[in-house]
Amino acid sequence: GAVVSQHPSRVICKSGTSVKIECRSLDFQATTMFWYRQFPKQSLMLMATSNEGSKATYEQGVEKDKFLINHASLTLSTLTVTSAHPEDSSFYICSALFDGQETQYFGPGTRLLVL
């Protein structure tokens, strides 16, 4: 069964609003979580890496003030898209690396549509 969940699975919002996406690890403690973005017909692009209790590390070109990441516990990381605009419409996917494991497990993704 799934070991990583995301909520919501789909969200539609107006331009200028903020949207929070949750990523939860189920039954396991995730030492590190990753956030990816995928535009239509493109591959996944890593946005940031977050470790529990510390600041996220953002990839080049990703605005940390626009994409706020909070990894407050070993089972929850949140991504907040602040002041969303239509160009932020995308498929946002998280993954988790569990303590003692070698493999990242991915969530089902959240499809964001900004009108």
Residues engaged in binding another protein (CB under 8 A): 4, 6, 32, 34, 36, 43-46, 49, 57, 91, 93, 95, 97, 101-109, 111
Pairing of strands 110-114, 10-13: parallel
Q: In angstroms, what is the minimal distance from the CB of 85 to another protein?
A: 23
CB of 20 closer than 8 Å to CB of 69? no
- Cα separation of 4 and 23, whole Å? 7
Q: Which is nearer to another protein, 38 or 82 (CB)?
A: 38
Q: How far is the CB of 82 from another protein (least distance, A)?
A: 23
CB atoms within 10 A of CB 97: 19
Closer residue to another protein (CB): 32 or 82: 32
Closer of 14 and 53 to another protein (Cβ): 53
Q: Say if strands 90-98 and 110-114 run parallel, antiparallel, or are unpaired.
A: antiparallel
